[in-house]
Structure formats: structure tokens, C-alpha cells
Amino acid sequence: MALGAFWFSVMSLLVKLAGARLPSQQIVLARAVFTLALSWGMVRRAGVSAWGHDRARLVLRGTFGCVALSCFYYSLVHLPIAEATIIQYMNPVFTAVLAGLILRERMGRREIACVGVSLLGVALVTRPGFLFGGGGRLEPAYVGIALVGALCSAAAYTTIRTLRGEHSLVIVFYLPLVTVPVTVPLVGHLAKWPTPLEWLTLLGIGVTTQAAQVYLTRGLQREPAGRATAVGYLQIVFAALWGVVFFGEYPDGWSVLGALLIVGSTLVLMRGVRGEAVEVVPDE
């Protein structure tokens, strides 16, 4: 799980580096093309139908995942890398809310309190001007996009919970299957031909994402879900480290406190789930 968190953080670093010149949607497209070919090969190797049974919900899952990925990459490019990662880690809280509203899963005082604490954490990280005075620490539009990404990740996870009879590889396959045709027209005239170094960076995004998912899966197979996913929060630590080393982005005390509130409320949520894993990583 620690290795998975490390590679996910390296992926985030590479996205931010590539986004210095390339549009974030072009990075999403490059990543989707890589994972589409990889997922297709894995589905074929497993000997299952790539198209699944409940195609409408599979497409819905892919659509939510596409929007989540686009928003997350956009926020990585335009926000400090640690803060973008922290906001994305709101998705387990949003998942609990959506599961309660849509799937009628129990949502008691514990869950409601966790939602409130997490929102307070986001407020401390972003410190909007209308609450703290001044112009606000982070651009509100970018924070809003990051929150939409976390919400769409939660919507994707909630949709996955309804796909009881689908093979996991098919569910994974539909994310790039939807993302590629959706992203192509969005890139359009904004696309820029990558330099050799940027080609390597784009390749690195695909490779590090795959490595992270492999280690994440192995960790979840070998450790109890609560303990394993808690280790995944090392991604925030790694992201903060990359921000300091590569971009001179130093999180202040309020950001650290906000991150602790979000992490703590999510861990409380996970302990309250009856033996089920709660996904806490970006829809990557």
C-alpha cells in the first residue's frame, strides 16, 4: 500500500510537470489511450466479454470516472499538488453521502458528523475569502473543480456498488473506453505536440499509474481493508514532499490541520462500515 501511494504521488507529480505546457485534457487523453490498450489486453486475456451486461450503468460509471479524472488532473495543474490531493481525498465522504441518498445505505450521526468535519477540513485548506477575509488562499474556481472531481469519483464508486454481476476488469475497461471519445473533441485545437521529454512524461504517467494500481490491489488482498487503505494516505505526505522539492509549495499549519481533519473523518467512516472496503484513492 505504501508503494502504491508512492507511485500515485509520482503520477500526480508527472501530471503537474506535463501540465506546465500541455493542456490537462490532453494529458487525460494520453493516459486514457494507454490504459484503454492495457485494459483491453487484460480483458481479452481473462477470457471475458469486454462489453459487460449492464451497459447503461457501465457507461455511467465511465462517464463519472472521466469527469473525475479530468477535474483531478486540472486541479493538479492549477493548485498546489498537496492541496489538490487533499481535496480529492474527500471522495470517501461524498461516497457515504451518495450511498445513503441513492442506495439507501444507513447514514447515522457518525456519518453526518464526518461530513461536517471533512468540509471544515477543506475550508481550512482552501481558506475562502468570504469566511476568512481577504482574497482567499486558493482560487475558488479551481477549488470548485477539484471538489467536483471528488464528487464524481464518489458517484463512480457508488455506481460500481450497483454493478454486482460485472467482472472487475470490465468495470475498469469502461473508464478509458468512455474517456477517449469524450476527451478527443475537448482537446481539439488546444492540443500541442509534445516534446521528447513530454512524451516520456506522458508515458511515465501511464506506467506509474499501472504500478500504483498493482501495488494497491496486492495490498488490499493481503491486509484488512481499513488498515491497508489508511496506509494509502501516505500519498498526501508524498505529494506535499514533491510540492516542496519541485515547486517550492510549503503547506502551512492550517493546511496540515485541514488535511488531518479530512483524513481522520475518513478513517472514522471506514471503521463504521460493516466489514466493507471504502475506496479512498482518486479514480486513477
DSSP 225-267: HHHHHHHTTHHHHHHHHHHHHHH-----HHHHHHHHHHHHHHH
Predicted pLDDT of residue 275: 43
Q: Report residue 274's pLDDT band, with 50, 70 and 90 as the boundaries.
A: very low
CB 284 within 8 Å of CB 98:
no
Tell me the longest C-alpha to C-alpha distance in the chain: 58
Residue-wise pLDDT tens digits, 137-190? 788 899 999 999 999 998 998 898 888 888 888 998 999 999 999 999 999 888
Report the b/e string of 23-43 with b at 16+ CB within 10 A.
Answer: bbbbbbbbbbbbbbebbeeeb
Residue-wise pLDDT tens digits, 82-106? 899 988 888 878 887 888 888 777 7
Q: pTM, whole model, 2 decimals?
A: 0.86
How far is 148 from 68, CA to CA, in rounded Å? 7
Predicted pLDDT of residue 279: 43
Q: Report residue 277's pLDDT band, with 50, 70 and 90 as the boundaries.
A: very low
Q: What integer is the mean pLDDT of 241-246? A: 93
Residue-wise pLDDT tens digits, 3-26? 888 999 999 999 999 999 999 999
Q: What integer is the mean pLDDT of 212-227? A: 69
For the chain, the structural domain boundaries read: 2-272
